[in-house]
A and B are shown apart, each in its own frame.
Chain A
């Protein structure tokens, strides 16, 4: 323990330093960006502003151009703990709506990515035809696709989680596909020759060799995919009419100039993304260590 603590401090110190710098810059920016409005108000009221007043007022506005960090933190705290979790003002409630669609989309996207990769590796026709389409799908702006998916599915009577999950899957299948194609092709020639010498069938080769070999690549892709799924879900919550989810919270904040609410929702999304990526990282290190594949 005594040996571990300096290295831990050594790892945390740079992070804290960067964090501190960001907070300082943020406060300066908040003062600078909110100052015109405060000066304007003071001029209208014919009041004389001391620097002290100016700073205090720029950091406590109800609808600041840029809210100060402590305002966002308070908004976040209130959104998470200050509301009943069934309330529409609760970030936990909105977060759960977003999370459930994200996880559903991530599951669909991962399954699709893996299946397509298996097809590509085992089938020459798919090898030549699928990849260009997959790449093309990612070059279409998601902001253009999302409203269409929502509208088309709504007209078919499908609303709620599924349309958002499909947008999330749209973004998350691609990293899984790319990673798995690479991963399934990693076994070296010798390993494949051994399998051949044992007269192994295609499916035996797949289950015993290609699939386990691909897991490090799969996990690396999953971390990208889950973050992409979250982005997809939030984009899916933006089109007009959405009332639930962190995306809707962002949008309604911007309608009513509730910048604190926007930023609180933004941070809630970032925290959610970080937590999901860390969760996968944890499963990854556990699995790969057990498999002797940890690097």
Chain B
């Protein structure tokens, strides 16, 4: 049983400066409930890979299945929620209104919407903030609201592209903890792009190390850490060894240039 099955996925952008090989022969399987981080230097195709899963880009080669369907069919079946680096909340809608938007678009009934909004607000610890406007919330709270929005329609997969990249370290730590908590409660499959080695190691069950030109996977590291992870786990030898492995993987990718 796999959620995402990529087999030799390639994506070449045709640009004015010639072809850009954003992805080349990327193969990866992701099982239900996995927390998979994608890490690598900028331009290695992390975003592009996440976008192909979301059917926001179409691969130019290879095969890609999401929940056993084409990415396009999976998107229409509401298989995933997508979280971008910026919260992208509408300033003219309240937090509850913003979470309600995808539900309205998908045609959920009013009472169903209200229930779902209450539930996801609770999941991201924003109960009581539903009637606030985005500008009344801090950056971290806004990003939590955007995660709530991605969770509201019960997609099994959560795709997150550097969701905490714009936040400071302290807020980021708290959100990482909250995200792990949310993942345990919901059992979602999560694809998570990050620049940060500690973040990848702390969150993931699997870490996918990528390298650029052409964008490809250089290493997939299975985490030996237990699923229950207090923040202090980051001081354990296992954690440090794992971070070391990721760092090596990144260096290895670099030696190709």
A residues with CB within 8 A of B? 190-191, 193-200, 204, 208-209, 212, 290-293
From A193, A196, A293, B91 is in contact (CB under 8 Å) with A293
Which of chain A's residues has its CB closest to B80's CB?
A: A197
**In the complex, chain A residues whose CB is within 8 Å of the CB of B105:** 195, 198-200, 204, 208
- Kindly state whether residue B82 has any CB partner on chain A within 8 Å: yes
**In the complex, chain A residues whose CB is within 8 Å of the CB of B153:** 198
CB distance from A193 to the nearest CB of B (A): 5
Using A292-B133, A292-B135 as known contacts, say yes or no to A197 and B54 having CB atoms under 8 A apart. yes
Interface string of B100-117 (1 = CB under 8 A from A): 011011100000000000
Would A212 and B90 count as touching, CB distance under 8 A? Answer: yes
Would A197 and B134 count as touching, CB distance under 8 A? Answer: no
Using A190-B86, A204-B105 as known contacts, say yes or no to A199 and B78 having CB atoms under 8 A apart. yes
**In the complex, chain A residues whose CB is within 8 Å of the CB of B86:** 190
- Kindly state whether residue B76 has any CB partner on chain A within 8 Å: yes
- How many CB-defined contacts (below 8 Å) exist between A and B? 49
**A-contacting residues, B71-107, CB 8 Å:** 75-76, 78, 80-82, 84, 86, 88, 90-92, 101-102, 104-106
Would B88 and A212 count as touching, CB distance under 8 A? Answer: no
CB distance from B221 to the nearest CB of A (A): 29
Would A212 and B92 count as touching, CB distance under 8 A? Answer: yes
**In the complex, chain A residues whose CB is within 8 Å of the CB of B106:** 198-199
Can you identify 24 A-B contacts, CB atoms within 8 angstroms? A190-B84, A190-B88, A191-B88, A193-B84, A194-B84, A195-B105, A197-B54, A197-B75, A197-B81, A198-B102, A198-B105, A198-B153, A199-B105, A200-B105, A204-B105, A208-B101, A208-B105, A212-B92, A290-B92, A291-B91, A292-B92, A292-B133, A292-B134, A292-B135
**In the complex, chain B residues whose CB is within 8 Å of the CB of A204:** 105
**In the complex, chain A residues whose CB is within 8 Å of the CB of B75:** 196-197, 199
Using A196-B56, A199-B75, A208-B101 as known contacts, say yes or no to A293 and B80 having CB atoms under 8 A apart. no
Number of interface residues of B (CB under 8 A): 24
Give the docked Cα–Cα distance between A291 and B135 (Å).
Answer: 11
**In the complex, chain B residues whose CB is within 8 Å of the CB of A197:** 54, 56, 75, 80-82
Give the docked Cα–Cα distance between A245 and B216 (Å).
Answer: 73
Would B133 and A194 count as touching, CB distance under 8 A? Answer: no
The 10 closest A-B pairs by CB, nearest first: A292-B91, A291-B92, A198-B102, A197-B82, A200-B105, A198-B105, A190-B84, A204-B105, A292-B92, A190-B88
CB distance from A102 to the nearest CB of B (A): 30
New A-B contacts (11) at CB < 8 Å, excluding given A198-B105, A208-B105: A191-B88, A193-B51, A194-B84, A195-B105, A197-B75, A198-B102, A199-B75, A200-B105, A204-B105, A212-B92, A291-B92
Give the docked Cα–Cα distance between A290 and B93 (Å).
Answer: 10
